Amino acid sequence: MSRNPLGWSYPAGAENDPNAPYNQIDPPEECPVCGEPNADEDGEPVYPDDPSFCSEKCLLKYCQDLEDEGI
């Protein structure tokens, strides 16, 4: 008889691994700065370096806004 009734065997601590695919947070559908879509028709990120934003310009503006607020 198996110790795991579901049959999955993950290494110890796998449920807490932030890099595991099942622990990744989906990016927002719209850029938080300008409201433009973050993905094209195929679902691919428009700005792959940071899929939360639609462009480097928006990412830099977001970072500047945080800096201005002292965060």
- Rounded to whole angstroms, the Cα distance separating 56 from 19 reads 24
Residue 61 located in a structural domain: yes
Number of domains in the chain: 1
Residue 48 located in a structural domain: yes
pLDDT values of the chain reduced to their tens digit, one per residue, 71 residues: 456 666 666 667 777 788 877 777 888 899 999 999 988 888 888 888 888 899 999 999 999 999 998 87
Q: What is the pLDDT of residue 7?
A: 63
The range of the structural domain enclosing residue 53 comes to: 28-69
Q: What is the pLDDT of residue 57?
A: 94
Among residues 42, 40, 36, 66, which one has the least CA distance to residue 54? Answer: 36
Residue 45 located in a structural domain: yes
Look up residue 45 and give its two tokens: 């990120």
- Rounded to whole angstroms, the Cα distance separating 53 from 31 reads 5
